[in-house]
Homo-oligomer: A and B are copies of this chain.
Amino acid sequence: MSHPLIKKVAIVGGTHGNEITGVFLVRKYEQYPNLIRRDSFEILTLLANPKAIEEGRRYIDADLNRCFKAQDLQNPKLINYEQLLAKQLAFTIGQSKINLIIDLHSTTSNMGLTVILHNNHPYLLGLAAYLSTINPLVKVLQYPPNQDHSYLRSLCELGFAIEVGPVAQGTLNAELFLQTEALISSILDFIELCNQAITPEIPKTFTLYQQVKAVDYPRDELQQIRAMIYPQLQFKDYEILHTGDPLFLGFDGEVIDYQGESSIFPIFINEAAYYEKHIAMSLAIKQEVTL
């Protein structure tokens, strides 16, 4: 495997101010920098949205992690708090010559330790395969690659997010915190090995989930939610869904079944921040990727 030399890595927490696993991890790394020190590259730690962190909110004016489209960063008319902050962060990441971004998120869904890629760069696929082998809790998810990306991680070709859950917004779950810390350590080890031209032991194939669509809550004529995630579907992220399986339970008692194709996998089930985005869950297909 050929691979780029990584000279500088950014570890970012608090892109969403109420996802505090990443916030406290970054603070820990800033207090104990030896934990993330490696010989062949530098690390920049960043708390992306300090004001939102201070207020314990996802964002102040707008979701920061939707403010990084190239055209938006260049648009002088976009001046709400997060739009300005995105420009500042893009400048900082650029100035610091960051080669790779690890953006730390958490979710109320049972996403375990999910690594989210948004392109097919062989380096990222290799990293994902490596992490899948080391820790069976790791899942690799890919968003549709040809979207116009608005995520912080898209500031870098080698950018990705880590989503850990389930954990309530504004809380730390020690077990998930420790697992996330171990995952980051493995990522840094991989970079170190590649930088030293030592090919890490990587399996020839690994499992990749491809997000294919989002599913909204059933709504009434006033656009109010009229159903909840079906009780037995709660926390069943990455478990196969078949045609006819119940998805929602209406406030009127109605059970609403899944009507699409079989062999699809629900993810981000009941993520708190997605209610306002009209997403009750997303659906993904499962693939075996050969490197």
Contact = CB atoms under 8 A, between A and B. Distances in A.
Contacts of A175: 231, 234
Contacts of A32: 251-252
B229 A270 contact: no
A249 B169 contact: no
Contact of A169 (B169, B178, B229, B271): B169
Contacts of A170: 108, 169, 272-273, 275
Contacts of A249: 174
Interface in A169-185: 169-175, 177-178
Contact of A228 (B174, B231, B251, B275): B174
Interface of A: 24, 27-28, 31-32, 56-57, 108, 166-175, 177-178, 224-225, 228-231, 234, 249, 251-252, 270-273, 275-276
Contacts of A273: 170
How many copies of the chain does the oligomer comprise? 2
A194 B253 CA distance: 30
A177 B250 CA distance: 12
Nearest to A171: B272
Given A169-B272, A170-B272, A174-B229, 16 more contacts: A27-B251, A28-B251, A57-B57, A108-B171, A166-B168, A167-B168, A169-B170, A170-B273, A171-B272, A172-B229, A174-B228, A174-B230, A174-B249, A175-B231, A175-B234, A177-B228
A172 B276 contact: no
Q: A174, A175, A252: which has the most chain B beta carbons within 10 Å?
A: A174
Contacts of A234: 173-175
A64 to B, nearest CB: 16
A172 B226 CA distance: 12
Contacts of A173: 228, 234, 270
A225 B228 CA distance: 35
Contacts of A27: 224, 251
Contacts of A225: 24
Contacts of A172: 228-229, 270
A168 B57 contact: no
A228 B276 CA distance: 30
Nearest to A175: B231
A17 B107 CA distance: 19
Contacts of A251: 24, 27-28, 31-32
Contacts of A166: 168
Contact of A276 (B28, B56, B178): B56
Nearest to A273: B170
A275 B31 CA distance: 21
Contact of A168 (B24, B31, B108, B276): B108
26 contacts: A24-B228, A24-B251, A27-B224, A27-B251, A28-B251, A32-B251, A32-B252, A56-B275, A57-B57, A108-B170, A168-B169, A168-B272, A169-B169, A169-B170, A170-B275, A171-B275, A172-B228, A172-B270, A173-B228, A173-B234, A173-B270, A174-B231, A174-B249, A175-B234, A177-B228, A178-B231
